[in-house]
Amino acid sequence: MAAVSAPSGPPETLSGRERILSAAAQRFLDAGYVETSLRDLAADVGMKAGSMYYHFESKDALLIAVLERGMSLMVDAFEEVVDGFAVAGVDNAIESAADQRLAAHITAHLRALHDNRAFTAGHVTLFRTAPQVVREAVLPLRDGYEARWTALLAEVLPDRSIDERTMLRLGLFGAMNASIEWLDTGRGTVDRFARLVADQFWRGVGSEPSEESSGKGKR
Amino acid sequence: MAAVSAPSGPPETLSGRERILSAAAQRFLDAGYVETSLRDLAADVGMKAGSMYYHFESKDALLIAVLERGMSLMVDAFEEVVDGFAVAGVDNAIESAADQRLAAHITAHLRALHDNRAFTAGHVTLFRTAPQVVREAVLPLRDGYEARWTALLAEVLPDRSIDERTMLRLGLFGAMNASIEWLDTGRGTVDRFARLVADQFWRGVGSEPSEESSGKGKR
DNA sequence: CCGGCTACCTAACAAACGTTAGGCAGATCT
DNA sequence: AGATCTGCCTAACGTTTGTTAGGTAGCCGG
């Protein structure tokens, strides 16, 4: 009765709470937060509405849990790329590798976004209209991810002003995150889009297309 | 009592219906569709909830009206640019003007988006989760606008494959439309972002920044 | 065998929602 | 002056919602 949050130690009950979490993420994303009733949600996991209060103290807490997991997955993906470049040797070509570093992070962002779509997409579609309690709870994690990208762009585009870098970052995020609304999940498709975004972001679209044409070569 | 839809002929009452429309657009955008109650909305315009059924036959119809106006404004802005280039002479330099045509449309899109933010932003934030009836009603207008951009990109990027053009268009839309969530309205700011997006889209970010640096020149 | 814990269920609560029927003051038209 | 229409109000309806209190079957350590 005191704390429902953690049962005791390591024995994380993975069936009950986890099933609710996944179903909630999916339904929140498909139908929206308010449009999703706890009764429908409970039916998805074979429960009754009131039963879920054993695992989560409120509907808001459920949304917070979903969004926190989503953002954690994104942060992890970012750090994985950082670690990858760290072992590759710092004394590599610093300048010429800038576009490759950026490309790697773009790919990682898009992969993490689509591989865990149910959890991550909520940050794009329903964070904005989420209850204030929810937004405040998840904001630290979001800010952390944003800060990583801000730092990355500062290293990779040192000649741009801060204002321009901010706008470029937000524009890049917009281009990438909007893909959850139209891109059919599938590793191949995601990677192709990632290459296109990275290529276009760095070299633009005015010059001739890169050599590796995809699918049916128009050329 | 038979049909409330159209009063009679041209005498469109502009005070009542219009005030509801504006207030609804603002509240839908700020709080979301379901989160906005007709009672709160009515209070905004100094009415009672039931009174609004004189002007709109349902809450869904209200949202449809808001979204339709928003998309009409976007379409008009697009066509205005087309007309502008038409009078400028068709036999201009076709190839070299491609980037300028694109830049003009990007600026027009962003201006129309932010100048009528209350109406237009709904297509970004709440179309996705709107009731199916609403989405179906507004879809023709949206498709029309999309088709215009598809045609534009086909003329401006003839060497790219259809798949790539689609992805580039969706990416560009994502970058532009996401700005409603962070860009503080103001013609100067909007135009600066428009130039940055157009420049980055065409020439990329890898080369040195364009000569006209904004605000404090980092250079 | 027994007390307690886990994981669920049942039943009900108050509040809020979209929507409707009927009424009513004031302007406009005939 | 009477009729009609416009624009709004009041009051209520049925439904759905998040949430809670209390109960219960099964497992598990002692």
The pLDDT tens digits of the residues spanning B122-134 come to 999 999 999 999 9
pLDDT (average), residues A26-45: 96
Identify the band that residue A211 occupies on the pLDDT scale cut at 50, 70 and 90.
low
Residue B24 lies in a domain: yes
pLDDT band at A206 (very low <50, low <70, confident <90, very high): confident
Residue B12 belongs to a domain = no
Contact A179 B170 (CB under 8 A): yes
CB A75 within 8 A of CB A109: no
| Residues near chain D strand, CB within 7 A | A 34, 36-40, 49-50, 53, 57-60; B 7-8, 13, 15-16, 42, 46-51, 54-55
Token output for A167: 């706008």
Q: Where are the alpha helices (DSSP H) in chain B?
A: 16-31, 38-44, 59-87, 98-115, 117-120, 122-125, 132-156, 162-177, 187-203
Whose CA is nearest the C1' atom of nucleotide D8?
B51
Q: Where are the alpha helices (DSSP H) in A88-215?
A: 98-115, 117-120, 122-125, 132-156, 162-177, 187-203
> Quick one: B41 and B97 in the same domain?
no
> For residue A2, is pLDDT > 50?
no
B85 lies in which domain range? 64-203
Q: Does A11 touch chain B (CB under 8 A)?
A: no
Q: Is A133 on the interface with B (CB under 8 A)?
A: no
What pLDDT does residue B91 have? 55
Please report whether residue B117 resides in a domain: yes
Contact A200 B128 (CB under 8 A): no
Query: Is residue B13 in some structural domain?
Result: no
**CB pairs below 8 Å between A and B: how many?**
138
For A115-155, what is each residue's pLDDT tens digit? 999 999 999 999 999 999 999 999 999 999 999 999 999 99
Contacts of B177 in chain A (CB under 8 A): 174, 178
The integer distance in angstroms from the CA atom of B126 to the C1' atom of C26 is 39
pLDDT at A185: 81
Nucleotide with minimal C1' distance from the CA of A47 is C8
Question: What letter represents residue B25's amino acid?
Answer: A
In sequence order, what are the residues at sequence separation of 6 or more whose Cβ sits closer than 8 angstroms to the Cβ of residue A65? A21, A56
pLDDT above 60 (res B14): yes
| pLDDT for the residue B209 | 60
Helix (H, G, I), strand (E, B) or coil at B117: helix
Judgement on whether residues B115 and B178 belong to the same structural domain of the protein: yes
Considering the domain architecture, whether residues B45 and B113 belong to the same structural domain is answered as no
**Predicted local confidence at residue B16, as pLDDT:** 83
Query: CA B55, C1' D9: Å apart?
Result: 15
**CATH code at A196?**
1.10.357
d(CA B163, CA A183): 12
Q: Pick the more confident residue, A212 or B191.
A: B191
B68 and B48 share one domain: no
State yes or no: pLDDT of B138 exceeds 80. yes
- Contact (CB<8Å) B178/A171: yes
Residue A41 lies in a domain: no
The distance of A6 to chain B (nearest Cα, Å) reads: 32
pLDDT of residue B89: 58
Asked if the model's pLDDT at residue B13 lies above 60, the reply is no
Higher pLDDT, A213 or A85: A85
Task: Output the distance from B65 CA to C29 C1' rounded to whole Å.
Answer: 32
Residue predicted with more confidence, A31 or B12: A31
* A174/B170 touch (CB, cutoff 8 Å), yes or no: no
Please give the pLDDT value at position B147: 98
Residues B123 and B42 in one domain: no
Q: Nearest residue on chain B to A218, judged by CA atoms?
A: B161
**B95 in contact with chain A, both atoms CB, cutoff 8 A:** no
Higher pLDDT, A42 or B90: A42
Q: Does B35 touch chain A (CB under 8 A)?
A: yes
Residues B33 and B93 in one domain: no
Residue B163's nearest CA partner among A173, A192, A110, A175 is: A192
pLDDT of residue A129: 94
Q: Which residue has the higher pLDDT, A201 or A10?
A: A201
Mean pLDDT of chain B: 87
Chain B interface, mutation test: which of A30, A166, A200, most B Cβ atoms within 10 Å?
A200
Average pLDDT, chain A: 87
How far from A197 is each of A163, B87, B168, CA to CA, in Å? 21, 35, 8
What tens digit of pLDDT does each residue of B39-67 get?
Answer: 999 999 999 999 999 999 999 999 999 99
**Distance (Å, whole) CA B120 – CA B181:** 12
- Lowest pLDDT segment from A120-124, B82-86, B197-201: B82-86
pLDDT score of B150 more than 90: yes
| Predicted confidence (pLDDT) at residue B192 exceeds the cutoff of 50 | yes
CA atoms within 13 Å, Cβ hemisphere of A151: 9
| Interchain pair A178, B173: CB under 8 A | yes
Residue B48 shares a structural domain with residue B123? no
Domains in chain B: how many in total? 2
Any domain includes A46: no
CATH number, residue B41: 1.10.10.60
Q: Does the residue A148 lie in any domain?
A: yes
Mean pLDDT of all residues in A53-82: 96
As a whole number, mean pLDDT of residues A14-42 equals 93
Of the candidates A167, A171, A202, the beta carbon closest to that of B204 is on A202
Nucleotides of strand D under 7 angstroms from a protein beta carbon: 5-12, 16-22
- Across the range A38-62, mean pLDDT stands at 95
Task: Give the least confident one: A90-104, B76-90, B100-114.
Answer: A90-104
The answer to whether residues B206 and A205 touch, using CB atoms and an 8 Å cutoff, is: no
Counting residues of chain A whose pLDDT is more than 90, the rounded percentage is: 76
pLDDT tens track for B151-172: 999 999 999 999 999 999 999 9
Picking from B6, B31, B54, the residue at the C-terminal end of a domain is B54
Burial A66-86 (b: 16+ CB within 10 A, else e): bbbbbbbbbbebbeebeeeee
pLDDT of residue A85: 80
Tell me, yes or no, whether B11 lies in a domain: no
Q: Which residues of B touch A121 (CB under 8 A)?
A: none
Identify whether residues B77 and B49 lie together within a single domain: no
B171–A32: do the CB atoms touch at under 8 Å? no
pLDDT value of position B208 = 61
A172 touching B, CB under 8 A? yes
Bigger pLDDT: A216 or A19? A19
